[in-house]
Structure 1
């Protein structure tokens, strides 16, 4: 993946807070001589274009929704988004593999775990990039593993939560999805399902802030550090 002119695909979840970190990483790889394509799942088709400030070509693929539907409709209907976008992504990668510079890797947002399976089945190296702070992602990981139970409701005296490598956190310190069971069911399912097939990834990257998370010890999926 690191050879000059190697083609790398980036596939962020289509919200600005997830797209921006992908673009920043793409810019760095582009400066190293790699060919970078950014794939956006959208209900509006646009012709591919290459940014003027950095050599990243932006492509849109169909997310299964109509142009008149609100962009947030995909959050309310995850099965429709996942199934349609998975097909579109598979078609896009298949077409790209027939070009003069076929992609060698996909860097994807784990908010869309189907992307890992699609790219793996098509023979690409696959990298998971957690664009949210690693502290939040690790909490979601423990929820998925069953090593942390989301409280049924908010307590007047917030309970304490303990995670490996963390200081003790109060209930109010946790991400909103981890504070009260059933508070945001659709989004909760998205953030927890990030880990459903993560062991198939060839590499895992995380977004972090070294000045805010100096004592966090990053554990891999086997519990080692």
Structure 2
């Protein structure tokens, strides 16, 4: 890949397992010459800071919750998170667009589909980056499309699940939300809703691998 220039916004879902892959992507983009702004939705507002090694500046935007509230509240009140973070993200991008080096694109986690709508409305190129393993995203996609039915009770009739380009999978191979209908309803809605507007993204990146690491004999 040749050297690039410009300004990119990166917006991970605010859980560590989603933030880490976005940070690694941000480092790669920075090494190619791009200015990267990493946006974290949080109830703990901090002053922006820039990495000493990479051209990555971290900003926090308000997620609508108070510092003393339990992190689980984000799952219990998802609409509150969506409404507040939508406003915060809109305000932040609008301010960034007035600067000397305005952002041209937003890379976002599809767990927050509202981010795509905000970025499109503000004229940015939008990239969806699925930070979960691609097989998990594939399973959620087929659940959303109605081409895979989550079993009512995974213990009564264990079945094999079939997905395009993958071998048959047992229920133990599947994400927990796909094993039994009605389990973790709020989280289930979160992982399935990521496909509500994904077709509007200009580019979709997935988290996969080329091959397994070789076995090490000790």
Q: TM-score range by the shorter chain?
A: over 0.9
Post-superposition Cα deviations, 1:7-45, rounded to whole Å, max 9, x if no partner, equal 000000000000000000000010010000000000011
State how 1:1-225 maps to structure 2 within 5 Å: 4-156=4-156, 158-212=158-212
* 4+ runs deviating over 6 angstroms: none
How far 1:183 moved relative to its partner?
0.8
Where does structure 2 lack aligned partners over 5 or more consecutive residues? 213-218
Task: After TM superposition, give the deviation of residue 3 of structure 1 in Å.
Answer: 7.4
In structure 1, how many angstroms separate the alpha carbons of the residues matched to 2:3 and 2:105? 12
Give the 3-state SS of the residue equivalent to 1:103 in structure 2.
Answer: coil
Cα distance in 2 for residues equivalent to 1:153 and 1:210 = 34
Counterpart Cα distance in 2 of 1:91 and 1:64 = 14
**Partners of 1:51 and 1:70 in 2: how far apart?**
29
Secondary structure of the 2:58 match is strand
Superposed displacement of residue 127, structure 1: 0.2
- 1:165 Cα deviation from its structure 2 partner: 0.8
Contact persistence 2:10–2:108 (CA under 8 A) = yes
Whether the aligned pair in 2 keeps the contact of 1:161 and 1:169 (CA below 8 Å) is yes
Verify the 8 A CA contact 2:3 2:32 in the aligned structure 1. Answer: no
Whether the aligned pair in 2 keeps the contact of 1:158 and 1:172 (CA below 8 Å) is no
Compute the displacement of 1:5 (Å). Answer: 3.0
The alignment covers a number of residue pairs equal to 211
Q: Distance in 1 between matches of 2:209 and 2:158?
A: 26
1:68 & 1:123 partners in 2: Cα distance? 36
CA distance in 1, matches of 2:29, 2:15: 22
Q: Is the 8 A contact 2:45 2:61 kept in 1?
A: yes
Query: Tell me, which stretches of 5 or more residues in structure 1 are unaligned?
Result: 213-225
Could you say if the C-alpha distance between residues 3 and 123 of structure 1 is closer, same or farther in structure 2, counting changes exceeding 3 Å? farther
Secondary structure of the corresponding residue to residue 64 of structure 2? coil
Q: What's the Cα RMSD here?
A: 1.2
CA distance in 2, matches of 1:97, 1:54: 22
Whether the 8 Å CA contact 1:43–1:71 is kept in 2: the answer is: no
**CA deviation profile, 1:71-102 (whole Å, cap 9, x unmatched):** 23212211000111011000000000000000
CA contact (8 A) 2:161 2:169 kept: yes
> Post-superposition shift, 1:156?
4.5
